[in-house]
Structure 1
Amino acid sequence: MPGDSVIEVGTGLGILTRSLAARAERVLTIEVDAGLVRALRADALLPANALLLHADALALDWPALVRERAATRVVANLPYAISAPLLRCLLDLRGRLVDWSVMIQRDVADRLLAEPGSRAYSSLSVLYRLCVALRRERDLAPGLFFPVPNVRSSFVRATPHPVARLGADELAPVEEVVRAAFGQRRKTLANALRGAGFPDPSAVCAAAGIDSRARAESLAPEAFLALARLFRRA
Structure 2
Amino acid sequence: MTTSDTNIQLYLVTDEAACLGRDLLWVVEEAVQGGVTMVQLREKTLGTRAFIERAKRLKDILLPYQVPLIINDRVDVALAADADGVHVGQSDMPFEILNKMLPPEKIIGISVENERDVLEAEQWDISYLGVSPLFETPTKTDTKVPWGLEGLRRISEQSKHQLIAIGGINLTNAGSVMQYGASGIAVVSAICSATSPYETAFRLKSMLQSQAISDNT
TM range (shorter): 0.3 to 0.5
- Structure showing greater relative contact order (alpha-carbon pairs closer than 8 Å, 6 or more residues apart): 2
Higher strand share: 1
TM-score, normalised relative to structure 1: 0.31
Which has the greater radius of gyration?
1
TM-score, normalised relative to structure 2: 0.33
